[in-house]
């Protein structure tokens, strides 16, 4: 006897609708069908590991109801069974959290076998079944949902997450998935919760030991020493999110102080300043996570120069020009502006500093505009010896900055 085909909306779209939030994408589960029947109706197959199809008109994803069986370590170590006899309840059982295991049929009826609606109301992230511990990506998803919704982790779920760390399951995470979830977590409204969740189960030390190493490292006396470098970093990341800064800025905010961590001498020589140690750690972390080049480069600049930028008003004109040169501000003024955003977030990410202005940003942008206005071509044409052109252009930029600083000083004293 054939099973009637039924289609259900599942997962995030149902969850977000119940929370009163907009949902961009809809995922659908098809019960009682086969790959051949889906293709015959015009659906386009796209799934490599299990049967997923794109709707011929909406292009939304429709997946055949399926079950999964663990066959090896890691998030790819699963054997998938998809057939007409797989029920909706069996499909929902394999999902990560109860709040994502709610389905809705074509008539609007909710199917909630794991009490996800109650957990939504209570603000709890709870695993659906013990099979949760078979997929290490779920630790990252728990952290991301905690950052997005502000939900707490159920004690039994946190216990499973800790087991996944201790038994090495989390070590099977591949860089691409870590970066995917990290970048999405950084873009949430309260990204600090992402890292707090990872730290609460021990995963942060495994995934991002450079960040985990900041906790317990004291801040300088002038910066509220009761807030260590780790907590300060979380405050900086949250400030960057509050100001709706781009992903590149938020990653730079996360990594700006890595050089202050207790780094073994065998990894980085002790004689290097913490800024240079920070640059080396940023490069190491970015390479391991396969971070984008834009994120890596801005994070590297922030780790190296945030201290100088904080002291912008004290810098000599020649030092300012060297800063612009090192940051490639002549060609990339928009990236230099992002560097200043990361530094502003660093300055505000302290107790009692959230509303403090950061005049260094406007000051340096004003100096950059004056320096970039120097006509390098005209300066070059005035040089008889072509080998002196770079030095002459640099001197003209220094002079332009010095002149502006003197004008501002006179205006301030008037």
CA-to-CA distance for 155 and 70, rounded, in angstroms?
24
Q: Please determine, for residue 250, whether its predicted confidence score (pLDDT) is greater than 50.
A: yes
Digit-coded pLDDT (tens) for 375-386: 888 888 888 788
With 0-12 CB in 10 A as exposed, 13-18 as middle and 19+ as buried, what is 7?
Answer: middle
The mean per-residue pLDDT over the stretch 101-125 comes to 96
Grade residue 80 by pLDDT with cuts at 50, 70 and 90.
confident
Sign of the CA dihedral running 375, 379, 381, 387: negative
The mean per-residue pLDDT over the stretch 145-173 comes to 96
DSSP secondary structure letter of residue 3: P
Residue 294 tokens, joined: 């834009």
Q: Please determine, for residue 263, whether its predicted confidence score (pLDDT) is greater than 70.
A: no
Q: Please determine, for residue 265, whether its predicted confidence score (pLDDT) is greater than 70.
A: no
For residues 294 and 248, the answer to whether their CB atoms sit within 8 Å is yes
Q: Please determine, for residue 83, whether its predicted confidence score (pLDDT) is greater than 70.
A: yes
Question: In this predicted structure, what is the pLDDT of residue 1?
Answer: 43
CA-to-CA distance for 332 and 297, rounded, in angstroms?
12
Give the pTM: 0.88
What is the residue-averaged pLDDT of the chain? 90
For residues 230 and 214, the answer to whether their CB atoms sit within 8 Å is yes
For residues 194 and 186, the answer to whether their CB atoms sit within 8 Å is yes
Question: In this predicted structure, what is the pLDDT of residue 72?
Answer: 56
State what percent of residues in the chain have pLDDT above 90: 71
The mean per-residue pLDDT over the stretch 142-147 comes to 97
Greater confidence (228 vs 82) lies with 228
Q: Please determine, for residue 77, whether its predicted confidence score (pLDDT) is greater than 70.
A: no
Question: In this predicted structure, what is the pLDDT of residue 266?
Answer: 44
Q: Please determine, for residue 89, whether its predicted confidence score (pLDDT) is greater than 60.
A: yes
Residue reference for tokens 């340096």: 364
Digit-coded pLDDT (tens) for 339-374: 999 999 999 998 877 788 999 999 999 999 999 999
Instruction: Give the architecture-level CATH label for domain 1-122.
Output: 2-Layer Sandwich (3.30)
Digit-coded pLDDT (tens) for 39-69: 999 999 987 767 899 999 988 999 999 887 6
Question: In this predicted structure, what is the pLDDT of residue 71?
Answer: 56
Question: In this predicted structure, what is the pLDDT of residue 413?
Answer: 46
Question: In this predicted structure, what is the pLDDT of residue 221?
Answer: 62
State whether residue 354 is helix, strand or coil: coil
- Length of the chain, please? 414
Q: Which long-range contacts (CB under 8 A, 24 or more apart) does 288-292 make?
A: 288/175, 289/175, 289/178, 289/179, 289/182, 289/208, 290/175, 290/176, 290/179, 291/179, 291/251, 292/248
Q: Of 108, 155, 160, nearest to 138 (Cα)?
A: 160
Question: In this predicted structure, what is the pLDDT of residue 129?
Answer: 93
The mean per-residue pLDDT over the stretch 151-180 comes to 96
Residue reference for tokens 């790819």: 76
Digit-coded pLDDT (tens) for 186-244: 999 999 999 999 999 999 999 999 999 999 988 776 666 668 999 999 999 999 999 99
Say how many CA atoms lie within 13 Å of 163 toward its Cβ: 12
Q: Which helix (H) or strand (E) holds 31?
A: strand 27-31
Alpha helices in 100-219 (DSSP H): 116-122, 137-149, 155-166, 175-186, 192-200, 203-207, 209-212
Q: Please determine, for residue 95, whether its predicted confidence score (pLDDT) is greater than 50.
A: yes
Q: Please determine, for residue 271, whether its predicted confidence score (pLDDT) is greater than 50.
A: no
Name the pairing type of β-strands 103-104 and 78-82. Answer: unpaired
CA-to-CA distance for 296 and 304, rounded, in angstroms?
12
**What is the chain's alpha carbon radius of gyration, rounded to the nearest angstrom?**
27
Grade residue 85 by pLDDT with cuts at 50, 70 and 90.
confident
Question: In this predicted structure, what is the pLDDT of residue 212?
Answer: 96
Question: In this predicted structure, what is the pLDDT of residue 381?
Answer: 87
Question: In this predicted structure, what is the pLDDT of residue 414?
Answer: 40
């Amino acid at each position: 006897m054939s099973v009637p085909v039924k289609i259900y909306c599942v997962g995030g779209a149902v969850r977000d609708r119940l929370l009163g939030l907009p949902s961009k994408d809809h995922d659908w589960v098809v019960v009682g069908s086969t790959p051949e029947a889906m293709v015959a109706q015009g659906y386009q197959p796209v799934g490599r590991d299990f049967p997923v199809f794109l709707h011929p008109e909406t292009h939304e994803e429709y997946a055949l109801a399926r079950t999964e069986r663990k066959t090896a370590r890691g998030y790819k170590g699963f054997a998938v069974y998809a057939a007409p006899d797989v029920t909706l309840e069996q499909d929902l059982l394999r999902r990560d959290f109860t709040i994502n295991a709610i389905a809705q049929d074509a008539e609007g009826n909710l199917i909630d076998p794991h009490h996800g609606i109650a957990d939504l109301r209570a603000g709890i992230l709870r695993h659906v079944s013990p099979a949760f511990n078979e997929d290490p990506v779920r630790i990252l998803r728990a952290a991301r949902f905690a950052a997005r919704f502000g939900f707490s982790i159920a004690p039994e779920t946190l216990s499973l997450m800790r087991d996944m760390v201790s038994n090495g399951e989390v070590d099977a995470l591949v860089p691409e998935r870590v970066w995917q979830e990290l970048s999405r977590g950084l873009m949430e409204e309260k990204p600090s919760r992402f890292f707090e969740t990872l730290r609460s189960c021990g995963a942060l030390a495994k995934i991002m030991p450079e960040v985990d190493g900041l906790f317990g490292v004291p801040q300088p006396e002038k910066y509220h020493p009761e807030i260590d470098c780790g907590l300060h970093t979380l405050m900086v990341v949250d400030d960057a999110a509050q100001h709706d800064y781009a992903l590149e800025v938020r990653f730079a905010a996360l990594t700006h102080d890595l050089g202050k961590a207790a780094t073994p001498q065998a990894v980085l020589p002790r004689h290097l300043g913490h800024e240079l140690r920070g640059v080396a750690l940023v490069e190491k972390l970015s390479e391991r996570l396969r971070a984008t080049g834009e994120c890596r480069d801005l994070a590297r600049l922030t780790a190296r120069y945030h201290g100088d930028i904080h002291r912008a008003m004290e810098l000599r004109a020649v030092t300012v020009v060297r800063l612009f040169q090192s940051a490639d501000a002549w060609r990339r003024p928009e990236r230099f502006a992002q560097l200043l955003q990361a530094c502003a977030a660093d300055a505000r990410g302290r107790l009692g500093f959230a509303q403090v202005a950061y005049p260094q940003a406007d000051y340096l942008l004003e100096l950059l505009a004056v320096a970039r206005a120097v006509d390098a071509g005209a300066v070059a044409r005035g040089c008889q010896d072509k080998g002196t052109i770079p030095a002459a252009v640099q001197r003209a930029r220094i002079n332009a900055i010095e002149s502006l600083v003197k004008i501002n000083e006179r205006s301030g004293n008037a």
